[in-house]
Amino acid sequence: MITVTSFKWVPDFARGHVRDLRVRWALEEAGLAYRERLIGAEDQSSDWYRREQPFGQVPVYQENGLTLFESGAIVLHIAEKSEALMPRDPAGRARVAQWVVAALNSIEPHVMNLGDIDIFEPDRDLAKLRRPRAVDAVKRRLDALAAWLGGREWLDDRFSAGDLMMSAALRIVAYTDLLKEAGLDAYHKRCEARPAFGKALKDQLESFADDPSAAKQGRMIAA
């Protein structure tokens, strides 16, 4: 049985953005059932959890003695199991891996930088000075991505784990008008309109307790 570790509580602004959502989405696309294991802040620095996740973050993925961390690595592992997320031919598989890495390396650091400024430092003078440059960096990356997409529906010839991870990265700045300005809004909405995303988001949101001290058990989730 697959087990996915997530938080039992996060602040409101983080709900729907914790990275176990990507893993849940991939499992839904692949049609694989899983069990969720919920941890609290007190578990993150514990010796037992750091042996599973060196940085104390989520998600952790466990299956038949295999333990993985990092959402990108986990999604690629799931994609290896399902043609719904990755084609079987070597060239197609390589292209999917390429776009997963591009989402994590070429897009996410820039959108995360802007998100951190807007969420955690909006009133700091230094952040106000940094923000225009951060916005410009995001715009350049989004424009390049939009140019690649052109009029295509997906990054390759069909939806794949690459689109899943790219959409997850774009979600970080969905609170701004940057996706719309770059012509990526329709692509992002197309990804999130998939039933598997809606199910994954619903399940993640239902897992959160109302307060950080609440004890809440994990659930079995059928894909």
Rg, C-alpha atoms of the chain: 18
Q: Are strands 34-39 and 60-63 parallel, antiparallel or unpaired?
A: unpaired
Structural domains of the chain, count: 2
Closest CA to 17 of 218, 210, 192: 192
Residues 131 and 111 in one domain: yes
Task: Determine contact, residues 60/53, Cβ cutoff 8 Å.
Answer: yes
Residues 94 and 163 in one domain: yes
Residue 220: the pLDDT is 86
List of the chain residues with pLDDT < 50? none
Residues 94 and 181 in one domain: yes
Residue 104: φ, ψ to 5°: -80, -30
Residue 125: the pLDDT is 79
Distance CA 223, CA 201 (A): 13
Q: What is the CATH number of the domain that holds 117?
A: 1.20.1050.10
Q: What is the CATH number of the domain that holds 211?
A: 3.40.30.10
Residue 138: the pLDDT is 98
Distance CA 35, CA 27 (A): 11
Residues 150 and 171 in one domain: yes
Closest CA to 219 of 63, 35, 40: 35
Residue 213: the pLDDT is 66
Domain of 114, in residue numbers: 90-194
Residues 133 and 216 in one domain: no
Residue 38: the pLDDT is 96
Residues 121 and 51 in one domain: no
Reading across the β-sheet that carries 34-39, which strands appear in turn?
A: 66-69, 60-63, 2-7, 34-39, 220-221
Residues 74 and 170 in one domain: no
Residue 220 forms beta bridges with which residues?
A: 35
Map tokens 């692509």 to a residue.
187
Closest CA to 154 of 99, 209, 200, 112: 99
Distance CA 146, CA 2 (A): 35
Residue 200: the pLDDT is 98
Angle between helices 125-149 and 108-120 in degrees, nearest 10: 150
How far is C-alpha 118 from the chain's CA centre? 19
DSSP 3-state of 95: helix
